Amino acid sequence: MLWLWIVLATAAASAVIGYYFSNLIIHIRTIPYEQTLQKEAEAGRVDPDNFERMPKQKVWIDSPFGYSLHAYWIPSACQDSKKVMIFVHGVTHSLIGSVKYLPIFQKRGYHAFIYDHRRHGRSGGTTTTFGYMEKHDLKACVDWVQNQLGADAFIGIHGESMGAATALQHAAIDGRAAFYIADCPYSDLTDQLAHRLKEDYRLPKLPLLHLANAFTRLRAKFWFSDVSPIRDIAHIHTPVLFVHGEEDRYVPTHMSLEMYEIKPGMKQLYLVPEAAHAQAITVDPAAYEATVAKFLDGVESMQEWATDHSRLNAAKQDGSKTGEKHDKNHFTTTVQPLQ
């Protein structure tokens, strides 16, 4: 009978451990909405008065999972602009964490859309899934934005930390965004959790992650292996700017380096000396803006070329129907590729 008690005790202990660590993951502590504003204000990243005065419209987006996402639509001063940025904040925070990035894009005539992740800020949802479900919420936000501006909207997506990982996962299921800016994303959830387990608890990956993984699947309906931006990025040709602090100890810098290396198509990598996690824009705001501006120059030029090329093809087709001749050089655009 002793062996039976040993087995039962081991099973019970494993269940307790698995449940506990899965709880830390899917119910990760989040900062109340009001405190996120206070935190950003104290750090000098957001002026609460300026944010309050900023022209904006509160909107609620229907998630495909049955809850509502709290969001703000912030129109550009250029009312007829077709350019828009969607901002995806990091874990534990709220949409307030995205406000510091707005001016870079507002100067270039972009509308802005900021929203709270599921189970963050004022949005609904009961679990955090690190991009597995969040990417579909982001897709719902893209739907809303495109309904506002039309099918020809020029959509960019900026993500920070978990928001960046979510953005990259979204790129694998929705081809409507013209570009992505991924600031300190993790490349794989299993690897990220193993890193945090070692850093925060000085514990090995096995068997804890296996136990937590099983309970996460039971409670939140996803496996850790379902969240792997580095697997997705290998098939993404949409332009991506990777940003990462060289002193990031929360999400290791090598994760962005590895994704940059394997991503096909247009890409750029910006490593920021002395920047910790999600601090790249804080450490050197001018360099951050200049890097983003160079990247935008490239993707916007590509868009202008594509638009002009489409018009040229349409003109040729019209001419072939009417017997008219068109100058093949009528539409010209100089494209400046990124280095």
Q: What HEC string does the chain produce?
A: CHHHHHHHHHHHHHHHHHHHHHHHHHCCCCCCHHHHHHHHHHCCCCCHHHHHHCCCEEEEEECCCCCEEEEEEECCCCCCCCEEEEEECCCCCCHHHHHHHHHHHHCCCCEEEEECCCCCCCCCCCCCCCCCCHHHHHHHHHHHHHHHHCCCCEEEEEEECHHHHHHHHHHCCCCCCCEEEEECCCCCHHHHHHHHHHHHHCCCCCCHHHHHHHHHHHHHCCCHHHCCHHHHHCCCCCCEEEEEECCCCCCCCHHHHHHHHHCCCCEEEEEECCCCCCCHHHHCHHHHHHHHHHHHHHHHHHHHHHHHHHHHHHHHHHHHHHCCCCCCCCCCCCCCCCC
**Whether residue 323 has pLDDT greater than 90:** no
pLDDT digits (tens, 9 = 90+) for 277-303: 999 999 999 999 999 999 999 999 988
**What residue ranges of the chain are covered by domains with CATH 3.40.50.1820?**
31-188+239-339
Superfamily of domain 31-188+239-339: Alpha/Beta hydrolase fold, catalytic domain (3.40.50.1820)
The whole-chain average pLDDT of the chain stands at: 90
pLDDT digits (tens, 9 = 90+) for 176-197: 999 999 999 999 999 999 999 9
- Would you state the pLDDT for residue 326? 37
- Would you state the pLDDT for residue 327? 37
> What pTM was computed for the model?
0.90
pLDDT digits (tens, 9 = 90+) for 13-48: 788 899 999 999 999 999 999 999 999 999 999 999
